[in-house]
Amino acid sequence: MDARPHDSAHKHVTGEAIYTDDIPEPPRVLYVYIRQSERPHARIVKLDVAPARAAPGVVDVITAGDIPGTNDIGPVIPDEPLLAENVVEYAGQPLFAVAAETPEQAYRAAHRAIVEYVDLEPVLTVERALLKMSESGPYEKERYLVLPPYTMRRGDSSRALAASPRRLQGRLKMGGQDHFYLEGQISMAVPQEDGDMLVYSSTQHPTEIQHMVARVLGRPYHSVTVEVRRMGGGFGGKETQGAAFACIASLLAARTVRPVKVRLDRDDDMIITGKRHDFVIDYDVGFDGDGRILGIDLMLASRCGWSADLSGAVNDRAMFHSDNAYYLENVTITSYRCKTNTVSNTAFRGFGGPQGMMGIEYVVDEIARSLGKDPLDIRKLNFYGVGERDITPYYMRVEDNILHEVVEDLESSAEYRARREAIKAFNATSVVLKKGIALTPVKFGISFTATQMNQAGALVLVYTDGSVQLNHGGTEMGQGLFTKVAQVVAEEFRIDFERVKITATTTGKVPNTSATAASSGTDLNGMAAQAAARTIKERLITFAAERFGVAPEAVVFRCNEVQIGRDQRLAFADLVKLAYLARVPLFATGYYRTPKIHWDRDRASGRPFYYFAYGAAVSEVLVDTLTGEYRLLRVDILHDVGKSINTAVDLGQVEGGFVQGMGWLTTEELYWNPEGQLMTHAPSTYKIPACSDIPDDFRVRLLESGVNREDTIFRSKAVGEPPLMLAISVFHALKDAVASVADYQLSPRLDAPATPERVLLSIEELRTRAHQPGELASPAALGPGMLGRSWPKGIG
Burial class (CB in 10 A: 0-12, 13-18, 19+), 141: buried
On whether the CB atoms of residues 590 and 535 are closer than 8 A, the answer is yes
- Residue 185 is which amino acid? Q
Residue 594 has pLDDT above 90, yes or no: yes
DSSP state of 237: T
On whether the CB atoms of residues 338 and 130 are closer than 8 A, the answer is yes
Give tens-digit pLDDT for 300-358: 999 999 999 999 999 999 999 999 999 999 999 999 999 999 999 999 999 999 999 99
- Residue 783 is which amino acid? G
Give tens-digit pLDDT for 726-785: 999 999 999 999 999 999 999 999 999 999 999 999 999 999 999 887 554 443 333 333
Residue 789 has pLDDT above 60, yes or no: no
Of the residues 25, 329, 721, 765, which is catalytic? 721
Q: Pick from 229, 316, 378: which is nearest to 732 by CA?
A: 378
Known catalytic membership, residue 721: yes
Residues in contact with 734: Cβ distance below 8 Å, sequence separation at least 6, in sequence order? 436, 621, 623, 630, 666, 750, 754, 759
Looking at the chain, how many residues does it have?
Answer: 796
Burial class (CB in 10 A: 0-12, 13-18, 19+), 683: exposed
Return the number of other C-beta atoms located less than 10 Å from residue 211's C-beta: 18
Tell me the HSE value of 442 on the side-chain side, using a 13 A CA sphere.
33
Please state the rounded mean pLDDT for residues 517-530: 97
Phi, psi of 260 (to 5 degrees): -135, 135
On whether the CB atoms of residues 792 and 133 are closer than 8 A, the answer is yes
786 band by pLDDT with thresholds 50, 70 and 90: very low
- Alpha-carbon distance of 733 to 731, in angstroms, equals 5
On whether the CB atoms of residues 310 and 346 are closer than 8 A, the answer is yes
794 band by pLDDT with thresholds 50, 70 and 90: very low
**Of 792 and 339, which is predicted with more confidence?**
339
Give tens-digit pLDDT for 376-396: 999 999 999 999 999 999 999
Please state the rounded mean pLDDT for residues 658-662: 98
Residue 796 has pLDDT above 70, yes or no: no
pLDDT value for 774:
59
361 band by pLDDT with thresholds 50, 70 and 90: very high
Indicate the pTM of the whole model: 0.96
Q: Pick from 250, 363, 232, 375: which is nearest to 296 by CA?
A: 363
**Region of 518 on the Ramachandran plot (φ > 0 left; ψ -120 to 50 alpha; else beta):** left
Distance of CA 112 to the CA centre of its chain: 38
pLDDT value for 139:
82
Residue 24 has pLDDT above 70, yes or no: yes
Give tens-digit pLDDT for 215-259: 999 999 999 999 999 999 999 999 999 999 999 999 999 999 999
pLDDT value for 74:
98
On whether the CB atoms of residues 632 and 621 are closer than 8 A, the answer is yes
Q: Are strands 260-263 and 30-36 parallel, antiparallel or unpaired?
A: parallel
